Amino acid sequence: MEAIIFDMDGVLIDSEYSYFEAKDGVLAAAGKSVLSSYHGKFMGTSYLYTWETMKQELDLPKPAEAYVAEMIQRRQEIIDRDGIRPIKGAIELVQRLAEEQQVLAVASSSPLTEIERSLRTIGIYDHFKVITSGEEVTHSKPAPDVYLLAAKRLGVDPAACVALEDSPNGSQAVKNANMMCVGFANPDYPKLTLASDWVVDSYDFLTATTLTEKFSEYQAKN
């Protein structure tokens, strides 16, 4: 195990609810409404992919970029209201792994400026050697592009990486990158089907040792 790569939204930052609320607001202004479950299929994907798909499926009149900009504005209002909230135990996990001399990276579909702001706000930005954004790759999750870019920048074999994800698209991206996937099943949210090699619902017991042991088991099976 040469590197540990984190998704951000839903893994480090408790942000999925803010995306749902912001998108619902944009759709309401356009005279559209969807079930909450509809948003789930876009978890882990890029902003542009999300709105290009929604534009097509919901027959929205404006360019996708216009809806992206409106969603970002609405989400900023939510952040101003609620602040940037870390996932329970995430800060401690990152600090623990950094103290254990693990090589850490972030591979997120969010814009780079948003990733940097969020990680700086909760005080863990400096622990990551590499940060990659969905803006930097051609294909959104579940394609492996953003994870492969992270491995390339780290200078490690993707097969020697462990990645933490919380969404079906994200976990599939990890598997498509030929990495071991640790799925985070947040007990505060509805259960999702994750393409994971190991699923956890708490970060409290994760250490370099437990991850290395699970990675060794994973390698032995594969």
Active-site positions?
Answer: 7, 9
H or E segment and range at residue 32: none
Helices (H), 59-207: 64-82, 90-99, 112-121, 145-154, 168-176
Q: Which two tokens stand for residue 132?
A: 């990659």
Describe the strand order of the beta sheet including 104-108 as a list of residue ranges: 130-133, 104-108, 3-6, 161-165, 180-184, 198-200
Overall residue count recorded for the chain in this entry: 222
Exposed/middle/buried for residue 83 (C-beta within 10 Å: 0-12, 13-18, 19+): exposed
Do 128 and 28 touch, CB atoms closer than 8 A? no
Q: Which amino acid is at 167?
A: S
- Helix 16-29 × helix 47-58 angle, to 10°: 40
- Distance (Å, whole) CA 138 – CA 159: 21
Do 78 and 14 touch, CB atoms closer than 8 A? no
Nearest CA among 126, 193, 189, 191 for reference residue 181: 193
